[in-house]
Amino acid sequence: MRLKIGELAKKAGLSVRALHHYDAIGLLSPSQRTDGGARLYGRNDLIRLHRIEALKRFGYSLPDIKASLDGQLTGVPLQLLQRQIKELDTQALRAQRLSRHLQHLVDMIAAGSEIAATDWLNALELMNMYQKHLDDDELDALLASGPDTVAPTDPSWTALIDEVHAAVQQALSTESDAAQALAWRWIRLVVQMTRNDPALATKLMMMQLGEPRARQIVGITAEMLEWIDEAFTHARCALFARYLSPAQADEVRRRQFATAKSQAWPALVVKLREQMEAGVHAGAAPVQAIVKRWQQLFLDSFCGDDAVLEARVRDALMREPDLQLGIGLDDSLLAYLHKAYIVGSDMTPVNAGPKPSALMVATQRAAHQLLDWPLVLDDPIALTVLGVAEARALRDDIDRFRHPISVGMRSSVVVRSRLADDVWTGATERGIRQYVVLGAGLDTSAYRHPDASGHIFEVDLPATQEWKQARLREAGIAVPPSLHFVPVDFESVGLAEGLARAGFNAAAPAIFSWLGVTMYLDEAAVVETLRFIAGCAKGSAVLFEYVMPLSSLPPIMRIAMEQLTAQFAERGEPWKSFFESAVLAEMLNELGFSHSSTWTPDALNQSYLANRSDGLRIGATPARLVLATV
């Protein structure tokens, strides 16, 4: 049986024109023709047509159908089917997204009691512009709903736009408190609306600036955006001013306005986030290149080569969470950035011995002798005790100790050592002749004062003391007769016995120095050591350092410290003990100490680092120094 083209079209539910097209492209040609040229379709042609229609229903293109039926895709039908499944899934996802976008319009219209036709047409027009400028994921993020989200049509956002428009019309000064309050509200709402995505925020801004209809519908003009940027810069500078002198505040303000319009920060944030989301290690070259650019942009934006101003700005950033408020900056990105900073400026020597922290602290004391003036801690043997190789490495790469992380660490190290010296000097003037350095590491107190009267006891782990004594011998540093080595593992609670064997007089008062140690011990070991000291002769005292719980810190400080302690843990020295200040004070009282006093970073800066020009300054830190007296 042969069918003419009209008959086949009727049976197949197709048009004659479609069959003509199939013939023209070689997809379905009749197996016979009449003498007059009319098409005649046989049984095999009908089977092929059924296959064509079946494949069309599954969404295959006509070229793919032809290739498949002509045997050109022999051996790869699985790949063809998988590709088609993927295309169908994409179409389904697109349909779901379109449905959600339309539902967003329905919800918006339903929320109004009597919405005018022009209102919903404006909304439809705006939706079309969003689809033009944003990809599907960005549009989904913009229109998502939830407790922490703000939609572009949210009343709080539209009301704020009206307030800013009025402020601009009234020429409200961007330096005013009212303008700055509007700026803080604006940036917070934009962060919520864009899900803190700087790329999305940039695209929305470009849409507002580039689409006249967007400006008419939304109401945001270029003049308003410029006004908000200026007010927000003034708002940030007002926060910085709390930590700066008037002259420093003026310099920061000048630099902030000079870099505010460059869009360099958002672009850098986007690049860093791309590396983080791609899973690139923080120490990798591309990330370190971004960090280097970040550091230079930071200097350009805040302080230039003024080390003192840089230290104060960094301190303010640690203390004021709102100073980190910006599109794209969140806890995860800041943690990634801090990790990259720490990895890129690692101060841990390669051959760090059994106690890396001890050599790191000694290296900072040595760097202080070379870099900083005037000296806070005059330590003429700081370089010698490092050994020839470490001292040479320090001198050859001294610039790495100018990095802000290193400067901050060195500030704390030299100040606490100087404070311990001052406490010991004051005690000797009162007649106390016993000085105990707990967790001594490479401490040089006894060697800087070889003729000191009385007895100095260095207490540390046996392996650490063996390592130190080997270094002393190699460096030719003589052990003064006043010094006694006391090998003790704090966590085995052998302090009393170890000191007694070394000649410690329990009936006479003593000064204990315990710096940079408690955080590495279990709380029980800390308490037992303090209990032993509290039981010493009246007049004894301990100067010790502790850290507050990281969870109690301001967000940026907490993130920075979490990354730093993670690095300590990786090298085998995890932090174990943290104390709330009020709880610790009560515990000291219960243990039998008659008095305790705490030095805050600000107090130490005032006492030891005031009026310096080299940037040494103890910034925001969870570490505290306490002097507890028996």
Q: Give me the mean pLDDT over the 597-605 stretch.
A: 95
Task: Enter the tokens of residue 503.
Answer: 């000649």
Element (H, E) at 40: strand 39-41
* 236-239, long-range: CB < 8 A, 24+ apart: 236/323, 238/180, 239/316, 239/320, 239/322, 239/323
Total residue length of the chain: 630
Q: Give me the mean pLDDT over the 533-546 stretch.
A: 97
How far, in Å, CA of 329 to CA of 519, rounded?
30
pLDDT in tens, 308-318: 999 999 999 99
Instruction: Give yes or no for residue 114 having a pLDDT over 50.
Output: no
Helical segments of 571-625, H only? 581-591, 601-608
How far, in Å, CA of 610 to CA of 627, rounded?
22
Task: Enter the tokens of residue 609.
Answer: 């680092």
In degrees, to the nearest 5, what angle opens at C-alpha 137 toward C-alphas 135 and 141? 115
Instruction: Give yes or no for residue 201 having a pLDDT over 60.
Output: yes
Element (H, E) at 459: strand 455-460
pLDDT value for 155:
83
Give DSSP secondary structure letters for 147-214.
TT---TT-HHHHHHHHHHHHHHHTT--TTSHHHHHHHHHHHHHHHHHTTT-HHHHHHHHHHHHH-HHH
Q: Give me the mean pLDDT over the 509-525 stretch.
A: 96
Highest CATH level, class, for 3-69:
mainly alpha
Other Cβ atoms less than 10 A from the Cβ of 432: the count is: 19
Task: Enter the tokens of residue 319.
Answer: 């203390």
Specify the DSSP class assigned to residue 351.
S
How far, in Å, CA of 161 to CA of 169, rounded?
12
For 534-555, the three-class secondary structure string (H helix, E strand, C coil) is HCCCCCCEEEEEEECCHHHCCH
pLDDT value for 117:
46
Task: Enter the tokens of residue 404.
Answer: 């802000």
Element (H, E) at 362: helix 356-371
pLDDT value for 452:
77
Report how far Cα 157 is from the mean position of its chain's Cα atoms: 29
CB-CB contact of 4 with 38 (8 Å): yes
Distances, alpha carbon 489 to alpha carbons 132, 150, 445, 454, 543, in Å: 68, 57, 21, 25, 20
Pairing relationship of beta strands 3-4 and 511-514 according to DSSP bridges: unpaired
Element (H, E) at 625: strand 623-629
Task: Enter the tokens of residue 307.
Answer: 């080390």
pLDDT in tens, 602-628: 999 999 999 998 999 998 899 999 999
How far, in Å, CA of 215 to CA of 564, rounded?
47
How far, in Å, CA of 142 to CA of 121, rounded?
19
Prediction pTM value? 0.76
pLDDT value for 115:
46
pLDDT value for 220:
92
How far, in Å, CA of 198 to CA of 273, rounded?
10
Element (H, E) at 317: helix 307-319
Task: Enter the tokens of residue 237.
Answer: 């500078």
Domain limits of the chain?
3-69, 111-243, 260-344, 419-629
Average pLDDT, the chain: 88
Specify the DSSP class assigned to residue 400.
G
Q: Give me the mean pLDDT over the 194-201 stretch.
A: 87
pLDDT in tens, 417-460: 999 999 999 999 999 999 999 999 999 999 988 877 899 999 99
How far, in Å, CA of 42 to CA of 7, rounded?
12
Q: Give me the mean pLDDT over the 458-479 stretch.
A: 92
Element (H, E) at 234: helix 222-240
Task: Enter the tokens of residue 349.
Answer: 């020597």
pLDDT value for 460:
94
CATH number of the 419-629 domain: 3.40.50.150
More confident residue, 155 or 296: 296
Q: How confident is the model at residue 228 (pLDDT cuts 50, 70, 90)?
A: very high
pLDDT value for 576:
96
Q: Give me the mean pLDDT over the 266-295 stretch.
A: 94
pLDDT value for 107:
65
pLDDT value for 106:
66
DSSP E strand boundaries for 479-619 = 483-487, 511-514, 541-547, 595-599
Instruction: Give yes or no for residue 76 having a pLDDT over 70.
Output: no
Task: Enter the tokens of residue 519.
Answer: 């955080």
pLDDT value for 140:
79
Instruction: Give yes or no for residue 256 having a pLDDT over 90.
Output: yes
pLDDT in tens, 544-591: 999 999 998 888 899 999 998 998 898 889 999 999 999 999 999 999
Q: How confident is the model at residue 598 (pLDDT cuts 50, 70, 90)?
A: very high
Report how far Cα 245 is from the mean position of its chain's Cα atoms: 28
* 261-267, long-range: CB < 8 A, 24+ apart: 261/229, 263/202, 264/297, 265/297, 265/301, 265/326, 266/198, 266/201, 266/202, 266/327, 266/328
Looking at 26-30, 73-77, 372-376, which range is the least confident one? Answer: 73-77
Pairing relationship of beta strands 434-438 and 483-487 according to DSSP bridges: unpaired
Element (H, E) at 4: strand 3-4
